[in-house]
Structure 1
Amino acid sequence: MSETPGQTLAERTGLPSDLLYLREGFPRDRWTTALHPTAAHWLQMHAGFREHQAHMTGLAGQWRNRTLDPAGLHRVLIPALQAFLQHLDGHHRIETGHYFPAMRKLEPRIIPGLDLLDRDHDDIHGHLETLFQSGLGFHQAVSGKALDVADQADRLADVLDVITSPLLRHLDDEEDIVIPLIALHGDPAG
C-alpha cells in the first residue's frame, strides 16, 4: 500500500476502508464484553495515554490562563511529561519490535495497516523528541531562573497542542486494527 492523501498521520481522519475489515467483524461496540485480556490491557494502556495527554494539556491551559505560575507549572508538568515520554516510547518499542511482527504472521492481509502504524510511530517519535526538547528548555529556564521562562512555558504548551491530534488519531487507528486482530487470533505474542 502506498501513501495516498489522508493516510499520513498528519492528514488522516481514520483508516482507509481496506484496513477496517477486522473491525467490521468485531466492531467497537463489542469491545466492552468478553474481551481478550491482551486486548483489554491494550485499551487500558491507550486510555492511560489519552488521560495523560489530557492532563498535560489541561496544565498548559492553566498556564495560559495564568492560574499556574512557572514554578507551579514546572512542579506538576515536568514529572508528568517525563512519565508520559518514557511510557509511550516503551509502549511503541514493544509494539514495533514484538507485537507487530507476530501480528504480521497471524494476519498477513493486515500488513499494510501495521506498516502504517509503524510509520505513525516514527512520526510520533519526532513529536516526542520535540516535546522532550521543549520540556528540557522549560526545565532549564526554571532551574536557572532565566528571563525567558514564560516564553519557554509557552513553547512547551504549544508543542503539547501540536502532538495531541496526531497521537489521538494514532491510538484510535491502532485500536481499529489491533483489538479485532487479538479478538480473532488471541495474544499474538503468546
Structure 2
Amino acid sequence: MLDQAKNIDEIKVRTDDMPSEMRLLLSDYPRDSWEAHPGFHEKTRHWLGAHQMFRRLANRVRLDAETYLDGKYELDYYGGRLAYYGNVLVGNLHGHHGWEDHSYFPELSKADARFDAGLAVLEQDHADLDKVLDHFTRTANRAIQLIQLDEAQVRDEVGKLHGNAEMIEAFLKRHLSDEEELAVPIILHHRLRG
C-alpha cells in the first residue's frame, strides 16, 4: 500500500489521442452511428450506460468536495455524501474493470486480434486507475474519520481528496472514451453481444 501511495504522484493521465492502431474500425463505425446499427444490442447499451454512470459519479464526488470547501455543505452532511458516493464509485469501478479484464476483453480479443493493439493501453489504464482509487479511498476514509476526531484537519484532507477526484475524472474521460471507441466498433463489426 505504501508503494502505491508514493507512486500516485508519478501517474500521468493520458491526454493524447488513442494510438492509430486502436482506431482501425472507428472510421467504419463512427460513434454517432452506433445506436442505429443493427448489431447494437442491449448488452452494449448497458455497458455504455455503466460508463456514463462512472462519469456522473466522478463528477459528483468532485463537485461535492468543491461545495464543502466553499462552505456550502455542513461537515456531517458532506461526510455522508462522501461515504456513499465515494464507495459507489470505487466499488463499481473495481467490479467493472475486473469483469472487463477477465471476461469482456478476452471475448473481444478472441473475436478480433485488432483489439489486442489497444488492450495493453487499456490494461495499463486499469492498473494506474487502481492506484488512484486506492489513494482516493484512503484519503476519503481519513477525511471521514477526521470529521469525528479533528474537524480542523478535515479541510486539508478534503483539499487532497478534491485533487484526487479531479484525477479520477480526467482518467475516466480519456480511458472510457478510448475503450468505447475501440470496443464498440469491434462489437458491431462482428455482431457480438447479441
Please give the alpha-carbon distance, in whole angstroms, between the structure 2 residues aligned to 1:53 and 1:146.
25
User: What's 2:87 paired with?
Assistant: 82
User: What's 2:178 paired with?
Assistant: 173
Deviation at 1:146, TM superposition (A): 4.7
Determine if contact 2:51/2:176 at 8 Å carries over to the other structure.
yes
Determine if contact 1:43/1:175 at 8 Å carries over to the other structure.
yes
SS in 2 for 1:13: coil
**Normalised by the size of structure 2, how large is the TM-score?**
0.87
User: What's 1:107 paired with?
Assistant: 112
Please give the alpha-carbon distance, in whole angstroms, between the structure 2 residues aligned to 1:187 and 1:128.
31
Instruction: Pick from 143, 154, 159 the counterpart of residue 149 of structure 1.
Output: 154
- Consecutive aligned runs of 4 or more in structure 1 exceeding 6 Å deviation: none
SS in 2 for 1:24: coil
Please give the alpha-carbon distance, in whole angstroms, between the structure 1 residues aligned to 2:12 and 2:105.
18
Partner AA of 2:22 in structure 1: L
Instruction: Pick from 55, 63, 71 the counterpart of residue 66 of structure 1.
Output: 71
Please give the alpha-carbon distance, in whole angstroms, between the structure 1 residues aligned to 2:92 and 2:15.
24
**Normalised by the size of structure 1, how large is the TM-score?**
0.88
Please give the alpha-carbon distance, in whole angstroms, between the structure 1 residues aligned to 2:125 and 2:94.
12
State how 1:1-190 maps to structure 2 within 5 Å: 10-34=13-37, 35-187=40-192
Deviation at 1:162, TM superposition (A): 2.1
- Aligned-residue sequence identity (percent) comes to 27
Deviation at 1:76, TM superposition (A): 1.2
Please give the alpha-carbon distance, in whole angstroms, between the structure 2 residues aligned to 1:42 and 1:9.
26
Determine if contact 1:135/1:156 at 8 Å carries over to the other structure.
yes
Q: Deviations over 1:117-139 (max 9, x none)?
A: 11110011111011111111111
- Residue correspondences, number: 182
Determine if contact 1:131/1:159 at 8 Å carries over to the other structure.
yes
Determine if contact 2:21/2:117 at 8 Å carries over to the other structure.
no
SS in 2 for 1:126: helix
In structure 2, list runs of 5 or more residues that go unmatched: 1-10
In structure 1, list runs of 5 or more residues that go unmatched: 1-7
User: What's 2:6 paired with?
Assistant: none
SS in 2 for 1:21: coil
Determine if contact 2:26/2:182 at 8 Å carries over to the other structure.
yes
Determine if contact 1:92/1:121 at 8 Å carries over to the other structure.
yes
User: What's 1:5 paired with?
Assistant: none
Determine if contact 1:36/1:183 at 8 Å carries over to the other structure.
no
